[in-house]
Amino acid sequence: MKPLKDIFRLLDYYHLYMKISIGSKIVEGPWGGGNLFVKNLSSFLNSLDHKVIYDLSEPDIDLILLTDPRSRRESSSTFNHEDINIYKKFINPNVAVVQRINECDERKNTENINSFYLHASDCADKVIFVSNWLESIYLKLGMSPKKSQVIMSGSDKKVFTNSKTTNNDKKIKVTTHHWSSHKNKGFESYAYIDKLIEETKWKDKLEFSYIGNTSKDYPLKNSVIIEPLSGSSLASKLSENDIYLTGSINEPSGNHHIEAALCGLPILYLDSGGTPEYCNGYGVAYQGIHDLEIQLEKIIQNKKQYQDELKKYPFNSEKMNKEYLELFNHLVEVNSLEKITVGQLNKRLTLIRFKISKFTRKFSQVNIRTRVKKLLRL
């Protein structure tokens, strides 16, 4: 089987080609983190000539990525785990399946998300979590450690760039941004900062801006409110600030603080959920509104130190996408080697010969041509 493995490894190297179905529609403009993930990953895969679709309408899908097993009325999903089971049983039993989990009951005080997602994972060959904190929740519920893996989230570093200039304004500018207006996004902390601005100590020293959808339960009277932004417009607005605040409670990963960190803003973050895994070493943690002011003073004093560290911030979509592609390649290779019949193998080898011969014409390196020809003599 080693020569066959060499062929598949060669295919991986040359990006020859997978058909991948991602179970979510893409929404343009400001939207949630799950939408940004699908958008970034789809763009990356398409750039390497993999074919990305968003349904189960084609019979020859190589890999299915389940992003949300909830009904279409509850989310932006285009299919769920039950649809995948039907597809595997009646259409394509050899398809590889990955489930990405970015949700839990702890996040929004729900009661059945964890058990439902765990049940849905029965259809998957591999389950990806966006933080070790989130993975630990599902491992305690019975998720197999062999089946689970953590791939950290990331944002586009070509859009969110560390190009900060010195703020000559005497006020320290603090900002945050969220698409969701759910109270667990941190509105207790944002309301606290909003009131802090009224105090004599901070009145001429502090400015707070909120980008996104606000909560009616936590009015921000002294803050600058900015409509939801995305992409380069958001990056430009974030870069005008000095410090980023996230009070998000039990956030599995979140994109907001990643985007801010890539823009060079030190992070003042609530020590909760998976957020510390993305922010530790790049800002200051606080435990609640009781120590928020103390930690705000600390991050202001050490702002330059964290700005220097942020030049090496590691979480970006390029790194994330490559980890997903490596996993996809591995699963498709394993499924092909384990499940393919003799007849399918002959068809696959014929296709491989055609694609490799077509592809190698683009290259002049003798060693590559020699290796390909040697493999094709099988």
The most confident of 177-191, 282-296, 344-358, by mean pLDDT: 282-296
Q: Mean pLDDT check: name the lowest of 12-16, 246-250, 347-351.
A: 12-16
- Of the two residues 34 and 295, the one the predictor is more confident about is 295
When the pLDDT of each residue in the chain is averaged and rounded to a whole number, the result is 87
Q: Which CATH superfamily is domain 172-312 in?
A: Glycogen Phosphorylase B; (3.40.50.2000)
* CA distance linking residue 378 with residue 373, whole number of Å: 9
Three-state secondary-structure class, residue 313: coil
Angle at CA of residue 50, ends 356 and 354, nearest 5°: 20
Whether pLDDT at 61 is above 90:
yes
- pLDDT attached to residue 13: 43
Whose tokens are 């900002």? That residue is 175
Q: Which strand (E) or helix (H) includes residue 373?
A: helix 366-376
Would you put residue 249 in left (φ > 0), alpha (ψ -120 to 50) or beta? Answer: beta
* CA distance linking residue 211 with residue 222, whole number of Å: 14
- pLDDT attached to residue 85: 97
Q: How confident is the model at residue 16 (pLDDT cuts 50, 70, 90)?
A: low
pLDDT, tens only, 71-114: 665 567 899 999 999 999 999 999 999 999 999 999 988 999 99
- Of the two residues 252 and 341, the one the predictor is more confident about is 252
Q: How many CB atoms lie within 10 A of CB 47?
A: 10
Residue 138 vs residues 132, 292, 322: alpha-carbon distances, Å: 10, 31, 25
For residues 359 and 14, the answer to whether their CB atoms sit within 8 Å is yes
- Of the two residues 179 and 3, the one the predictor is more confident about is 179
Q: What is the pTM of this model?
A: 0.84
- Cα 204 to the center of its chain, rounded Å: 38
* CA distance linking residue 299 with residue 265, whole number of Å: 11
Q: Dig out the tokens for 83 from the structure.
A: 């649809």
Q: How confident is the model at residue 344 (pLDDT cuts 50, 70, 90)?
A: low
Q: What is the CATH architecture of 2-154+317-339? A: 3-Layer(aba) Sandwich (3.40)
